[in-house]
Amino acid sequence: MWIVDSALKKREAENRPVRVGIVGAGFMGRNTAFQIIRHTPGMRVAAVANRTIAQAYKAYADAGLEAKEAASVHAIEDCVRAGRPVVCQDGRLLSQADGIDIVFECTGAIDFGAEVWQQAFDHGKNVVHMNAELEGTLGPILARKAKQAGVILSGCEGDQPGLEVNLHRYVSAMGLRPLVMGNCKGLQDPYRTPTTQKSFAEKWGQKPEMVTSFADGTKMMFEQAVVANALGFRVPKRGLNGFAVDCHFDDLVKLYDVEQLKASGGIVDYVVGARPPGGVFCLAHTDHPQQKHMLNLYKLGPGPLYDFYVPYHICHFEAPFSIARVALFGDSVMTPVAPFVDVIAQAKRDLKAGEILDGIGHYMTYGVCENSDIVARDRLLPIGLAEGCKLRRHVTKDSALSYDDVDLPPNRLCDRLRAEQDRAFESRFASR
């Protein structure tokens, strides 16, 4: 993608920067703002929105800029026209404001995030996001709405899903068939809580519940689900294989049977402990003897599986590339095509009737991947909809929750969208 830097420099020389509205000024939003302001010519942070307004101010202050607060669309538009940094509390205003070319959403919120995306679509704006939780719950129906509006919904490089889909495109373009798209973790413990992760979160300036969603695996499950939904892949079993290894990425080819993978059509998976840590991998196959001969010559081994990997993910450092790809070239990093894989809620402890479920990365549930046809058949509860649900009956530790176990909170947009998504794609499930 090294046409992106040249295109951005051209926009800088023409004084026509891509004007970005950032919704969510947490860890990722603030650091992406810093990266754009300090290191991305041809792009400007036009506005930052965050419910806690001090965080929005901080996103600019960290990069050495002062911002003005605005409380209406018109006030935001005035600041954008004047080139003055502006902050607000309601991210939906950035979706509506003229002068903002593209919305970068990274709240991690599902109901509110869906509102931001929909309003951006309604106002002709493309959306790039780092909200795997929302995409993994409602991505297919929201992608359909984006297409109907003539705009782009895109995931993001830097986070593992965008890197995996980039890798899939790269390998496919060379004539190989990707069969496993994988994520590498250093820790996987579904019983971690904000209490156990408090010190780590404080060390790195992150929220304990966000760090918990990493440690208990929920975040990674969402990441692999959105990769599956963008590529049409499935999972080998509930919760993925999750092989624990002590080896280099190149040795991962020994873990899989190529014929089983070919029969599956391709799977998403993860491993714990591969080296180098923190990256993503693609295991691909070719039947062509010349391809096999040349891959062996180039030190990728005799096959039948070949390993390609990126040994890191560096999040906000790469996020501006994705924004530029969409804004300048109309090229989505990744967009869901249909629900192939969902992330369902499982009990982190014994749950009692009458309890109200807490959120992702908290104390009561963790997320695991399951194929969407099974989720539909068994009425399993997506973890993205679990927060605020009231339990009708006891649920034992590690059991999957279903819609029959809970009462949903009233009047949520996410529930309406999920029902619409289920109806829109029910023929896919019926055919299995």
d(CA 12, CA 258): 48
Q: Which CATH architecture has domain 4-154?
A: 3-Layer(aba) Sandwich (3.40)
| CB-CB contact of 303 with 146 (8 Å) | no
Q: Is 306 left (phi over 0), alpha (psi -120 to 50) or beta?
A: beta
Domain boundaries, the chain: 4-154, 160-314, 341-430
The first and second tokens of residue 318, run together, are: 């790469």
pLDDT, position 280: 96
Predicted local distance difference test score (pLDDT) of residue 104: 98
Among 3.40.50.460, 3.20.20.70, 3.90.1210.10, 3.40.50.300, name the CATH number for the domain at 341-430. 3.90.1210.10
| Residue showing tokens 């530029």 | 324
Regions of the chain where pLDDT drops below 70: 1, 429-432
Question: What pLDDT score was predicted for residue 429?
Answer: 67
CA distance 182 to 185: 10
Please state, in angstroms and rounded to a whole number, the distance separating the CA atoms of residues 183 and 270.
Answer: 5
Q: What sign results for the dihedral spanned by CA atoms 149, 169, 109, 416?
A: positive
Query: Which pLDDT belongs to residue 276?
Result: 87
Structure tokens at 152: 């782009």
Closest to 373 in 3D by CA, of 431, 318, 325, 417: 431
In 175-257, where do the E strands start and end?
Answer: 177-185, 243-244
Instruction: Give me 197's structure tokens.
Output: 């992760």
